[in-house]
Amino acid sequence: MKIILGADHAATELKEALKIFLHDEGAVVEDVSPSAPVAGDDYPDYAFAVAEKVVADPTGTRGILLCDTGIGMAIAANKVSGI
């Protein structure tokens, strides 16, 4: 299974730790967000990128979105048809 990760500046550190954990567990991991915090980045960009990749391969791909509360990421991702 392939796992797509996306995180804004509020969750970059957590995402990097999760990426290592998932890799160690044998998952194929793709990260669509920067590896270092970017002040003023726009979380919907990452949410849309992850959601679109999951929709493109719904049987073999899952997405994990991380931000400060998760609310904005969830709202943005759910705007992508097929999620």
> Residue 82 in contact with residue 48, Cβ under 8 Å?
no
> Residue 53 in contact with residue 30, Cβ under 8 Å?
yes
Catalytic residue among 67, 73, 76, 77: 67
29 as an active site residue: the answer is no
User: Can you tell me the distance from the alpha carbon of 60 to that of 69, in angstroms, rounded to the nearest whole number?
Assistant: 27
Active-site residues, by number, are 67
